[in-house]
Structure 1
Amino acid sequence: MTTDSTASWTAAFRSAVVSPHETIDLFELRGFAGHTLRQIIRLDGGGSALRIRLTNRYGKEPLHIGGAHLARRTEGSGIDTGTGTPILLGGAAEFTIPAGEEAVSDPVERAVTAGEELALTLWLPDDTGLSTYSAVPLRTGYAVPGNALTAATLDGTEGLEELATRHFISGADVLAPAGTRVAVAFGDSWFEGTGTTPDTDHRFPDLLNDRLRAAGSRGWVVNQGLSANRLLTDEIGERALARLDRDALDTPGATHVLIHFGLNDLGIPGQEAYPDPAPIPTASDLIAGLTALAERIHAAGLTATVTTVGPYKDTVFEGYATPEGIAVAREVNDWIRGADSPFDTYADFAAAVADPADPDRIHDDYDSGDGLHVNDAGAQALADSVDLTGLGIRLAG
């Protein structure tokens, strides 16, 4: 491979995954058998080569992949067949990922750029069992019966399904120049993008990347947001304190971690959908958890930025917003803004999207309609609230 000898493998796309075997099923659960699965990856950064990360982390059966294929996406499920290439594992076009494990593909010798859309197609000849998946990727995927691994399009194919969830993909890395810096957006649905328009890349990390590119950044942000995820306790996905190493600190090329947690710790206990919720934490509980994150991020030699807890007073989710929880959020936000916070910098998400007349609720212009998540304009306001010079990603010049 003819590449810069100083280049290194660096995360250029991430998709946080959850188990289909959790107690609470808020999202579509499914497996595949005799299907072709085509899913879209939009790269946050570029490099001289690419490798794909496939996951069977929560699978209870071996994941047999009869073939994997990568090509530039055109529109819908279409691909530019002239750019197609097989994805190999250990030189093999057909391979199996054991239950509970993950795999990193052989490198693909192809220069790729930030913003490039790639279609990864998997031929799944055997029953996969319920799949390891990403709940809210906000990127339509496609599944059809039979082997259509290299088909120019799946549109119009009999039995075509459009998928709102992403399956078996946890990321992509690029061979990036030395000195490239990557921030991991490690948080909940406010990072994953719930409430923004699907298939438009208007999530907060996407829009922050737009700002970084416009400023001539030599780095980018990858998205490890996980909807309904909590800081202190497990429910949907492992709690932040448990998944920090795998989903943030061990990310290749990571220099910085950006954090948004607390909403689900405060809101989920009041919802009837959760049979045995933990009690609402105190401000001291959340501050201790956030402090532990900061200390572990610093111990790994990375920069840590925290965001204030977003407003949520008028959410439509019954039982989510309580006077007690909202009071805790205010106290935690005061601590984040104060001198005692252990974080290097903070972004004031709450102030960016709050209604000035009632700061505990999202402003109507930024509300997705559920009172808990921001819309596209709100995500832009969040991205605009981040100080790029304090983010820890090197700018040009």
Structure 2
Amino acid sequence: MQHHTWVAGFRTGVISPYEQIKLAESRELADETVRQILHLAGGGDAVRVRLTNRYGTAPLTIGTARVALRETGSAIVADTARQVLFDGAGSAVIAPGADLVSDPIDLPVDAGTDLMLSLYLPEPTGPATFSHQPGEITSVTTGDRTADTELTAAQEVPARFFITGIDVLAPTDTPVAVALGDSWFEGFGTTPSTNRRSIDALNARLDHGWVVNNGISGNRLTAEEIGESGLARADSDAFTVPGVTDVLLNFGINDLILGAQAGQPPATAEDLITAFTDLATRAHAAGLRVHAATIGPYAGCVYPGMPLLETQPTRAAVNEWLRATDVFDSIFDVDRAVADPARPDHLRAEFDSGDGMHLNDAGAAAMAATVGTLFGRALTR
């Protein structure tokens, strides 16, 4: 008889609504239903929901919560709808700074399924803990509409609220990797609502196990600015994720150029090498394999006020170290895969989303193709 255990089937990185720099604004909700599309990396015989009030300043009341498989748009497959319970109750209050895991829900799901999570928020929430660039739409409407098959006339919002993940009940030998990093994982620049992020493309290559996506657009490895730093959130967002066996890292661009908007100097090569080494050491101490990407090109970035050219020597030094070091289980050389051979500090034109810094769908697929080793085996697809 095969044994099963809870592992991560979906993840989404969250940030505080009170941060100085955000790529999208959070919102406050009251007497409203939010229905969110959660694209599952992996499946199982049952699910449980992970909610959060991590950055809230007031208690968060969950009036009603339901999950179902998605039909299309905001519509659900009606006969798959299940109420979500918390210690047997249909409602819950999440304290400021706290997370909440639901009771198990008898709903079998497959990898690649779109799960719909509907939350009714009866009381004012205050500014919401949220995912600010998930590349997916959330439907928001007035009142408790969690049981509705479709949310007609709902507002479409390109963010997620109060959700960090879905766990699935899967065979105990299922390996799970966590992608911890920035927009090149989260998928900013790829076509919204099409699941063409680099991690989606990587999952399409796997015939065993899957990768959940904890990228945060704008996230930095060495400092808090958009989200907690990679160093700070590695334990909660990677090393202790249920079922994790491997961690994928993609950091560096934001450490080199984004801090200029807040008057901060760029990270040095020593800063980044020390931080990467720290993460590798901590991952190995937790019994995990860890894999790191080289820092991709960004000299053609169109956003003003960033130190693009003067940070290229630092990027080159860190990439040289990454290619030579043995502190990681493997390196995936994203830089060489997506750089323009004629101008190696720039993205190839066919991989550029249009802003000179973020990958389009083809670029995300090229990034995924650089991962050669995962779960202790070579990837051939």
TM-score (normalizing by structure 1): 0.93
Correspondence list, 1:171-186, <5 A:
171-186=165-180
Name the structure 2 match of 1:246: 236
Q: Secondary structure at the match of 1:72?
A: strand
Q: Secondary structure at the match of 2:75?
A: coil
2:189 counterpart of 1:195? yes
Which of 275, 286, 289 matches 1:289?
A: 275
For the aligned residue pairs, the C-alpha RMSD in angstroms reads 1.5
Name the structure 2 match of 1:367: 352
Which of 77, 92, 97 matches 1:95?
A: 92
Tell me if the contact between 1:220 and 1:393 (Cα under 8 Å) persists in the aligned partners: no
Structure 2: which amino acid aligns with 1:136? Q
CA separation of 1:391 and 1:360: change in aligned 2, threshold 3 A = farther
Correspondence list, 1:221-260, <5 A:
221-260=211-250
Q: Secondary structure at the match of 1:172?
A: strand
Name the structure 2 match of 1:344: 329
Name the structure 1 match of 2:266: 280
**Deviation at residue 26 of structure 1 after TM alignment:** 3.2
Correspondence list, 1:58-69, <5 A:
58-69=55-66
Which of 103, 117, 120 matches 1:120?
A: 117
CA distance in 2, matches of 1:66, 1:176: 29
Cα deviation code 1:247-268 (max 9, x no counterpart): 0001000000000111001011
Identical counterparts, % of pairs: 48
Q: Secondary structure at the match of 2:311?
A: helix
Name the structure 1 match of 2:320: 334
Which of 16, 19, 22 matches 2:19?
A: 22
Name the structure 2 match of 1:302: 288
Which of 365, 384, 387 matches 2:369?
A: 384
CA distance in 2, matches of 1:25, 1:299: 33
Q: Secondary structure at the match of 2:298?
A: coil
Structure 1 segments, 4+ long, off by >4 Å, are: 393-396
Correspondence list, 1:129-140, <5 A:
129-140=126-137
Tell me if the contact between 2:33 and 2:146 (Cα under 8 Å) persists in the aligned partners: yes
Name the structure 1 match of 2:257: 267
**Deviation at residue 269 of structure 1 after TM alignment:** 3.0
CA distance in 1, matches of 2:306, 2:287: 36
**Deviation at residue 28 of structure 1 after TM alignment:** 1.3
CA distance in 1, matches of 2:379, 2:268: 39
Name the structure 1 match of 2:39: 42
Structure 2: which amino acid aligns with 1:310? G
Cα deviation code 1:224-243 (max 9, x no counterpart): 00111111111111111111
Name the structure 2 match of 1:320: 306
Which of 127, 143, 148 matches 2:140?
A: 143
CA distance in 1, matches of 2:196, 2:303: 23
Q: Secondary structure at the match of 1:256?
A: strand
Q: Secondary structure at the match of 1:332?
A: helix
Consecutive unaligned residues of structure 2, counting only runs of 5 or more, are none
**Deviation at residue 5 of structure 1 after TM alignment:** 6.6
**Deviation at residue 94 of structure 1 after TM alignment:** 1.4
Correspondence list, 1:206-221, <5 A:
206-212=200-206, 216-217=207-208, 219-221=209-211
Cα deviation code 1:146-167 (max 9, x no counterpart): 1111111112x3xx21010100
**Deviation at residue 100 of structure 1 after TM alignment:** 1.0
Q: Secondary structure at the match of 1:74?
A: strand
Tell me if the contact between 1:229 and 1:239 (Cα under 8 Å) persists in the aligned partners: yes
Q: Secondary structure at the match of 2:33?
A: strand
Q: Secondary structure at the match of 2:76?
A: coil
**Deviation at residue 81 of structure 1 after TM alignment:** 1.1
Cα deviation code 1:324-361 (max 9, x no counterpart): 211100111111111x3411101000011110111110
Q: Secondary structure at the match of 2:105?
A: coil
Tell me if the contact between 1:36 and 1:144 (Cα under 8 Å) persists in the aligned partners: yes
Structure 2: which amino acid aligns with 1:283? A
CA separation of 1:360 and 1:341: change in aligned 2, threshold 3 A = farther
CA distance in 1, matches of 2:304, 2:70: 40
Tell me if the contact between 1:181 and 1:394 (Cα under 8 Å) persists in the aligned partners: no
Structure 1: which amino acid aligns with 2:45? S
Tell me if the contact between 1:307 and 1:348 (Cα under 8 Å) persists in the aligned partners: yes
CA separation of 1:141 and 1:168: change in aligned 2, threshold 3 A = same
**Deviation at residue 321 of structure 1 after TM alignment:** 4.1
Q: Secondary structure at the match of 1:304?
A: strand
CA distance in 2, matches of 1:390, 1:89: 35
Tell me if the contact between 1:12 and 1:174 (Cα under 8 Å) persists in the aligned partners: yes
**Deviation at residue 31 of structure 1 after TM alignment:** 1.1
Alignment size in residue pairs: 380
CA distance in 2, matches of 1:221, 1:321: 33
CA distance in 1, matches of 2:242, 2:218: 25
2:199 counterpart of 1:205? yes
TM-score (normalizing by structure 2): 0.97
Structure 2: which amino acid aligns with 1:106? D
